[in-house]
Structure 1
Amino acid sequence: MDFQKLTDIMRRLALQAGDKIMEIYDGPDFEVQLKSDDSPVTIADQAADDIISAGLRAAFPDVALVTEEQADSHGETAKTFLIVDPLDGTKEFIKRRGDFTVNIAYVVDGEPVRGIVYAPAKGRLFYTDADGQSVEETGPFAANETGMKSPIAVSEPDNSALLVVASKSHRDAATDNYIARYKVAYMKSAGSSLKFCLVATGEADLYPRVGRTMEWDTAAGHAVLKGAGGAVVRFDDHTPLTYGKNIFENPFFIAYAPGVELKFPRCQS
């Protein structure tokens, strides 16, 4: 893989998809439909998927593509693949709360090695560069011209005063019970894969997810966090979270800066 080409194309497609999403977001009311799993979907999800899928298939015709909005791709068994969530955080989009992202990642042998997370309503753009270092680019953004980039890195956490980020739309008692095992100085809520990016920039130390997610929800953010020195492990045994699993479903997981002293679930203490 030509990683410079991959970086440039993922960045361009994410920005183009973000522009289309914001056109719909800022427009009149849009129809919301339900998928077979009762999750919401809008015309913005499909429009962004059309842009990204067409661009990736044209640029990388020999690389398998998995995308949330194309059910026929969910049976893919390749070990190396591109994976896309064209609009992560659809509930936040529908409520016009801004915490939604465009996610594109490249997975090799179970590991997300490159990724991009673009939050168009927040004006934040995070991605791995050609060398695998994660950066944040500041706007205004142009698809064909790279702006100012700054390397990002995880925090050196203080385990007596941790900064924790948790889901905005999927917060539950199990999550709160787990977080209560840490000494927390500050806790914030965020939607979509932005939570990975907040850990990647040092704005948070820890992001536990005790709930269902799919690989297209996490791969891009995982890649960005990895490129910033962070890690993502399974909640149950703290082994690395891997990709290419059956139906692309994740177990519960923890994303964190390596200095955090992780806690096991209480049954394993």
Structure 2
Amino acid sequence: MNYATLATEMRRLALEAGDKIMEIYQSDDFEVKTKSDASPVTEADEAADALISAGLRDIFPDVPLVTEEQSDSHEQQVMTFLIVDPLDGTKEFVKRRGDFTVNIALVEDGVPTRGVVYAPARGRMFYTDSVGKSVEEKGPFDKETPGETVPLAVSDADNSALMVVASKSHRDEATDAYINKYSVADSTSAGSSLKFCLVATGEADLYPRLGRTMEWDTAAGHAVLNGAGGRVVRFDDHSPLAYGKPGFANPFFIAYAPTVVLKEG
């Protein structure tokens, strides 16, 4: 894998998909359909998926591709692959709340090593560079020429006053009960994979997820957090969250800065 090419192309494809998504987001109306798992899908999901998939297959034809919107790709049993969620946070998109992202990642031997998370409505973009270190690029964004970037590093957490981020659409009593095991200075909510990025930037120390997610929901954010010195572990035994699982479904997990002293569930 040519990591320099990968970083350049993932960034470019995320920006192109973001433009397509925002074109639909800012229109007067758009169609919302329901998938077999009862989750929503819009023409923005489908248009962004077509754009990103075509680009990745053209540039990296020998690397398996898994994408949320192509169910036949979910039948693969692979440990090294590209994985895409073209519009993570469709519920946020439909409600026009802005917390949705374009997610593209590379998983190698079950570990997300490279990724880009682009939040077009928020004007924020996070990605791993050619050596796997994570940065946030400052806008406005040019598709061909990267702008100024800021290196990302997780916080040196104060365990007596933690900053916690949790899901905006999926927070429940179990999540709150777990968060209450910690000494929390403040908590916030965010949609989509932005939660990983808030831990990566040091804006939050801890993100627990006690709910259903799929690998395409998490791989890009996980890669960004890895590249900033963070960790993602299973909720049940605190072992590293691995990828390439059958059906690409995740267990509950915790994303955090390593200085956070984790509590048992």
Q: Give the TM-score, by structure 2 length.
A: 1.00
Cα distance in structure 1, aligned partners of 2:245 and 2:20: 31
- How many equivalent residue pairs? 265
Q: Which residue is 1:191 aligned to? A: 191
Letter in 1 for 2:227: G
Q: Which residue is 1:236 aligned to? A: 236
Map 1:12-31 → 2, pairs under 5 A:
12-31=12-31
Q: Which residue is 1:155 aligned to? A: 155
- Alignment pair present for 1:263 and 2:263: yes
Q: Which residue is 1:221 aligned to? A: 221
The alpha-carbon deviation at position 76 of structure 1 amounts to 1.1
Cα distance in structure 2, aligned partners of 1:81 and 1:26: 33
Cα distance in structure 2, aligned partners of 1:39 and 1:60: 30
Secondary structure at the aligned position of 1:74 is classed as helix
Deviation track 1:130-163 (CA, whole Å, cap 9, x = no partner) reads 0110000000001111100110100000000000
Cα distance in structure 2, aligned partners of 1:79 and 1:94: 33
Secondary structure at the aligned position of 1:18 is classed as helix
The alpha-carbon deviation at position 78 of structure 1 amounts to 2.1
Cα distance in structure 2, aligned partners of 1:79 and 1:229: 22
Q: Which residue is 1:128 aligned to? A: 128
Map 1:1-269 → 2, pairs under 5 A:
1-265=1-265
Letter in 1 for 2:135: V
Unaligned runs of 5+ in 2: none
| Aligned-pair identity (%) | 73
Secondary structure at the aligned position of 1:93 is classed as helix
Secondary structure at the aligned position of 1:135 is classed as strand
Cα distance in structure 2, aligned partners of 1:95 and 1:59: 34
Cα distance in structure 2, aligned partners of 1:206 and 1:50: 34
Cα distance in structure 2, aligned partners of 1:78 and 1:237: 24
Deviation track 1:27-50 (CA, whole Å, cap 9, x = no partner) reads 111111100000000000000001
Cα distance in structure 2, aligned partners of 1:76 and 1:124: 32
Secondary structure at the aligned position of 2:75 is classed as coil
Cα distance in structure 2, aligned partners of 1:163 and 1:249: 27
Unaligned runs of 5+ in 1: none
Deviation track 1:55-114 (CA, whole Å, cap 9, x = no partner) reads 000000000000000000001112210000000000000000000000000001100000
Q: Which runs of 4+ in 1 moved over 2 A?
A: none
The alpha-carbon deviation at position 11 of structure 1 amounts to 0.3
Deviation track 1:196-220 (CA, whole Å, cap 9, x = no partner) reads 0000000000000000000000000
Deviation track 1:207-253 (CA, whole Å, cap 9, x = no partner) reads 00000000000000000000000000000000000000010000000
Letter in 2 for 1:177: A
Letter in 1 for 2:3: F
Secondary structure at the aligned position of 2:187 is classed as strand
Letter in 1 for 2:89: G
Letter in 2 for 1:52: I
Secondary structure at the aligned position of 1:126 is classed as strand
